[in-house]
Structure 1
């Protein structure tokens, strides 16, 4: 009996070792995502005035939130402004902080259309909108319009059936966090639709065409509810300084519907907290927050004769190995990837794909660039099966990884 037990123990140990051995496969793989050195080289030689706006979006696309903020602040020439102690005290006495998600979901009951904006360099805005999806769906919001979706000749016509975004689905959707917003929406059951205007010029005409495209979808489903995710000023109601009316204002004009408009751009963190809006500094929020006055009215974002109904105040990010802490929340786990067994010249890019998705087409679930073998490699992933691709642009390897 003893001998049998020892043999079984050895066999189990051998099988266990065999099972834990990762199969690493060399593959032909090309990625559109740029290494930091490529982005920096381009910035150093580019002569266009908006070069830092481009590089900020490129950093966001490759999952580098920290550098996206830095480059955006270089583009905007961020400066410092402070409130006095008395002003800070007055603000905190005049307003009560409430959880932004809870407040928006409560207001959603009274509305048919919600419009929420983003800054195109800020992945956290996409993560916040994603965090609202299930709760809004439960309140009847079944249609999601995304400005970032290609339209017209660029339309990804098979997206709703395929159930995951690919690199041609939309320029900004290449950001893994935007891709995950799309994935989650499709998984929940949303009907996704494009509304961007790719045929007629910028400015006023663009706002008109965007609103008309949304109007057509609303008219075809008059009893359904809609969530619209747009960029920057498109969420403004009232009179716009340059466009007469932004998309949100035009939509009211064409449909008679007064949307709930949400601005999460103005009061978001900068690359350095000293550049944060003084109101954001004064409130010192610890979670996405909306503030309400003594009459229970929410604080609006206002700019001259234009406004959004609600302003969201986002907290400052804490970083874990240069990765934002919010990446490891809302069902995501911090997953450490070991690169010791892969013989590649660094830096490398590590991309995680859902097992059933095509790694040559799909938007990855997460991306991180690792400069050397001493650096920790952490990905934000849900439970499930993944294919991990490691590439330095010349050579590439892949292996499977299960997140329990």
Structure 2
């Protein structure tokens, strides 16, 4: 019996964290299926051209908000590519909902990114290797890290009204970003990394007439600043290079830029976009290949700490033809039993 959408999504998210998006795609979830959109006339083609286009548009904005899929890791690559382009025009702070928050500070704990290595405990989604590479590049470029996520009180009772819970979270995120902005110089600019609808500049109206106003809309209203908003989760073309798409009618005005990525394909169990962006498929060392039970294989850059986010991570079962996906370099590789992971 097929999984329902929410269960399949959670399982796909788990496979994504383990480097096995191929297994997430096999569940049949929507984020690995085509969702046709009309291309933007004269759209740039390919991630490099799209990143250049976004950076040019960003020159007129103090805030850029880019969303991601929490399942499809290729959406983190475009954010990574934007980092140097935006840094060159005055963007100095990267705030991500993925980073752990605390009641008293919107800056992640310094020990979680000391010496340019994103620590495993920096956040949840940032534990995934493509996200870890994004953070590593941000630190190399001297971005300051911030978090705007709502602080979760472990002693608080769960909110019974789902819509109220969403509204409270969106409000907290917007207010936190206002605090981040208040702590920045007047000439500094802010890059905000979010998931899905948090980047939406317009409210969603439900059938019963109730509305949800998302973080980007609240931030825009409160500050009077018009953010440049980019969505990567609305369109999926069948194949070919990434492009920009026309806004779908139901999200008219919600986002400034709609990125249309191709549906993912896989090679040796790994997302093909990684090798297209320069990774090499590297066989798992013979001594670390699983024999009697599955293993999680992790590769760390030589000289880096072993509590950092690895450069790659992949789940492998005995007999599978699975490879590590790595940029050229030297690495320390380890295998971890799944029950210890």
The TM-score bracket by the shorter chain reads: 0.7 to 0.9
State which of 241, 265, 271 in structure 2 corresponds to 1:287.
241
**SS of residue in 2 equivalent to 1:114:** strand
**SS of residue in 2 equivalent to 1:350:** strand
CA-CA distance at 1:63 after TM superposition: 0.9
CA-CA distance at 1:266 after TM superposition: 1.1
Q: TM-score scaled by structure 1? A: 0.70
Give the aligned partner of residue 146 of structure 1: 96
CA RMSD in angstroms, aligned pairs only = 3.2
Give the aligned partner of residue 281 of structure 2: 334
5+ long unaligned stretches in structure 1: 1-42, 83-87, 269-279, 292-298, 397-404
CA-CA distance at 1:217 after TM superposition: 1.3
1:358 aligns with 2:285: no
CA-CA distance at 1:290 after TM superposition: 1.2
1:10-29 equivalence runs, <5 A = none
- Listed one character per residue, the Cα deviations across residues 218-252 of structure 1 (whole Å, up to 9, x for unaligned) are 12223211111101111111223365421111111
Q: Distance in 1 between matches of 2:149 and 2:321?
A: 39
State which of 189, 207, 223 in structure 2 corresponds to 1:255.
223
Structure with larger RCO (C-alpha < 8 A, sep 6+): 2
Q: TM-score scaled by structure 2? A: 0.82
- Listed one character per residue, the Cα deviations across residues 1-59 of structure 1 (whole Å, up to 9, x for unaligned) are xxxxxxxxxxxxxxxxxxxxxxxxxxxxxxxxxxxxxxxxxx99x9x983222211111
1:309-320 equivalence runs, <5 A = 309-320=256-267
- Listed one character per residue, the Cα deviations across residues 233-280 of structure 1 (whole Å, up to 9, x for unaligned) are 111112233654211111111211100101100113xxxxxxxxxxx3
Note closer, same or farther for the CA distance 1:198–1:62 as it changes in structure 2 (3 Å cut).
same
State which of 29, 51, 63 in structure 1 corresponds to 2:7.
51
- Listed one character per residue, the Cα deviations across residues 92-140 of structure 1 (whole Å, up to 9, x for unaligned) are 7x82231322211221222211101112111111122112212221222
Give the aligned partner of residue 85 of structure 1: none
Q: Distance in 2 between matches of 1:205 and 1:235?
A: 16
Q: Distance in 2 between matches of 1:79 and 1:357?
A: 37
Q: How many residues align?
A: 319
State which of 308, 319, 322 in structure 1 corresponds to 2:255.
308
Q: Is the 8 A contact 2:270 2:322 kept in 1?
A: no
Larger Rg: 1
**SS of residue in 1 equivalent to 2:261:** coil
